[in-house]
Structure 1
């Protein structure tokens, strides 16, 4: 099964939208993956060497690694060498048919190729042109390269991890890429909504959009970590003390761990009454009587809870806590998600047949009653749809370098 124009556009709230995608790695491709899931026709344009994510994780054949296959599912694949004028001409012809142009090149690089906003707008005046950058062009770091690790460092993640763990560290997921990708998605959709309000396709107002990893992650981190530092004068350092408390971790039990949040007054009082009634009396009863008081000494609260959770098994605690309607969960591995009873009951994973065999994709996490999203197909091999896309543009479209076949042996 290969991606096609038909399966790339069938159904979904973005049906009929054409996206020219010059993004790579995860930031931009994650945004356009969601667009494809929601019915947009996404044409992924890659250089002859391909997107780096083809090679950095494992897959059944070379050039089709897991990250690449996941964030580029349902897209059409076009290989162009934009150092060549004939291939730049193909891209111009494609832009003329598009609603969205999205890229993740540095500003100087995209200008050098001749595809900055002014050049693209001259081809398609109502285009939504989304830049995916590391840092805003309006600041001194505007043309600086950025990766998830460096942006995590810039926005304070290793710092707050150090407050919790005693040693700075990255979080074990490429958070900056994915958060920025979600920002790129909603920003592009907002610009499209504005175009619809001002006349729609062909008549509405297009615009340039800039989405940056550093600014997106700074906003994301400061939702809670701004805390009292927002005020003048500051009332606290810029961190949320409960989030960085060293005792904030899954509770160790007899033979395992459990995650639980015995936090608000309702949950606290239920836990104390059922499990530790002596905490309602004397000094502890007064010190822990309200959420406000507990929040001011959250480390002490976590430490006492930690000692208590050692007294029962994980399953005993899950039974107790669920009976008290206190939020709790067992610890799961990422492998275990593929056999999760809840996810399987709702059909979250979608199996797609590909040239490399069946692939079980994490599905669409949002639900629409009238225009549901779905995994539209596999990720494209490098240059997979060159012939088809060129045939759609115009009979006289210049030829480009032939598609590179991925060895499936």
Structure 2
């Protein structure tokens, strides 16, 4: 048995936000039906394709889901969605703000059809507040939420984070809200609306940066490069090695003392460096001492020495190195699946439950590949009914 066995999810999602939430639910055993506009999810048209010409981003986020083509701008498409909702447990969506309500598919309308429905809506800024209703994407939320202004080096321009952290953090928050609502429903019998805003989801990650701003005991810096966001921990940086870089941090004085033993540098005997406050006050000197030691050694040797000493550290790996990492391969979050068509890479699950095995994802399908099967088996439509809908451009 899987954690979400028997749970039916309708995903009216696009890009990363809602699709990541529904992907995690699929890996937990839910039956996920992805609803796409006639032209398909925009990420089906990205130029980053696999060896078989299929868009990689779409495959990563949508393997393991059934997919139907449905024009929600047409009354016929709206009616089909309402009928699917009658037997659904969850609907997740991140269409443009207000799009579902304008089509008569908002929570109030859908919950009247199925009071047990849990509907999760993802937007940039939520349903209230001065920015409510404004369109948003990962990049614009990073700009509006001080992620860009706190990323990069003090003498450089604001920088977007490499990964799309906002979309994936928000998708994880959406999953949390849906699971909480499912649990509450076991006691009340009622569904509810779950709202997750991209900006709300990412702001807590700025805790160290905000602490540095509010603290009167330390100097505030907007961008700190690879140093601690509040400049409250030292050493805490990426240091040059003779073959790349390594990240090292000492969150306690005990960690620093163990690092000093490894470095065997007389400069560390300076009493200014004995306590965290002193090291933070003279952070440039501390970083110079550490890099003097790391720059003479390879990153993998340093990583081994630091791990053995119990000091938090890691070599800075490249993307090609990550894909070949034996630990990443064994964990299977990035996984290669083999089927009758060959092999493809997709995302497994970062959630490991001891009594709920992950459902192995199948290959993401072409847009509308499961439309006929879903309409027949879920709604009992005839071949003629489906043909008429297709002729009208509804499916």
TM-score w.r.t. length of structure 2: 0.88
Q: Is the 8 A contact 1:102 1:129 kept in 2?
A: yes
Q: Equivalent residue of 2:2, what SS?
A: coil
CA distance in 2, matches of 1:125, 1:263: 49
The residue aligned with 2:326 is 341
Q: Structure 1's 238 and 97: CA in aligned 2 closer, same or farther, altered over 3 A?
A: farther
Q: How many Å apart are 1:140 and its aligned residue?
A: 2.2
Q: Is the 8 A contact 2:64 2:362 kept in 1?
A: yes
Residue of 373, 379, 395 corresponding to 1:388: 373
CA RMSD of aligned residues (A): 2.7
Q: Structure 1's 26 and 258: CA in aligned 2 closer, same or farther, altered over 3 A?
A: same
CA distance in 1, matches of 2:341, 2:321: 23
In the TM superposition, 1:10-89 aligns within 5 A as: 11-56=1-46, 57-62=48-53, 64-89=54-79
- Say whether 1:376 aligns with 2:376: no
In the TM superposition, 1:113-192 aligns within 5 A as: 113-164=103-154, 166-192=156-182
Q: Equivalent residue of 1:274, what SS?
A: helix
- Say whether 1:401 aligns with 2:390: yes
Offset from partner CA, 1:170-209 (integer Å, 9 cap, x none): 11111111111111111111111111122xxxxx121111
Residue of 265, 269, 272 corresponding to 2:257: 269
Q: How many Å apart are 1:332 and its aligned residue?
A: 1.6
Q: How many Å apart are 1:230 and its aligned residue?
A: 5.3
Q: Is the 8 A contact 2:240 2:291 kept in 1?
A: yes
- Say whether 1:302 aligns with 2:306: no
- Say whether 1:313 aligns with 2:290: no
Structure 2 portions without partners, runs of 5+: none
Q: Structure 1's 274 and 333: CA in aligned 2 closer, same or farther, altered over 3 A?
A: closer
Q: How many Å apart are 1:239 and its aligned residue?
A: 5.7
Residue of 304, 318, 330 corresponding to 2:315: 330
Larger RCO (alpha carbons 8 Å, 6+ apart): 1
Q: Is the 8 A contact 2:154 2:222 kept in 1?
A: no
Number of equivalent positions: 383
Q: Structure 1's 307 and 37: CA in aligned 2 closer, same or farther, altered over 3 A?
A: same
- Say whether 1:227 aligns with 2:211: yes
Q: How many Å apart are 1:101 and its aligned residue?
A: 1.2
Q: Structure 1's 300 and 45: CA in aligned 2 closer, same or farther, altered over 3 A?
A: same
Q: Is the 8 A contact 2:89 2:116 kept in 1?
A: yes
Q: Equivalent residue of 2:196, what SS?
A: strand
CA distance in 1, matches of 2:272, 2:199: 41
Offset from partner CA, 1:216-244 (integer Å, 9 cap, x none): 122332x222205557x897648696424
Q: Equivalent residue of 2:150, what SS?
A: helix
Q: How many Å apart are 1:36 and its aligned residue?
A: 0.4
Residue of 353, 356, 372 corresponding to 2:338: 353
The residue aligned with 2:94 is 104
Q: Equivalent residue of 1:273, what SS?
A: helix
Q: Structure 1's 324 and 108: CA in aligned 2 closer, same or farther, altered over 3 A?
A: closer
Q: How many Å apart are 1:249 and its aligned residue?
A: 4.3
The residue aligned with 1:279 is 267
CA distance in 1, matches of 2:173, 2:156: 31
Higher mean C-alpha displacement, 39-48 vs 212-221: 212-221
Q: Structure 1's 118 and 29: CA in aligned 2 closer, same or farther, altered over 3 A?
A: same
Q: Equivalent residue of 2:68, what SS?
A: strand
Q: Structure 1's 175 and 347: CA in aligned 2 closer, same or farther, altered over 3 A?
A: closer
The residue aligned with 2:276 is 291
Offset from partner CA, 1:41-88 (integer Å, 9 cap, x none): 1100000100011111323445x3111001111110011011222222
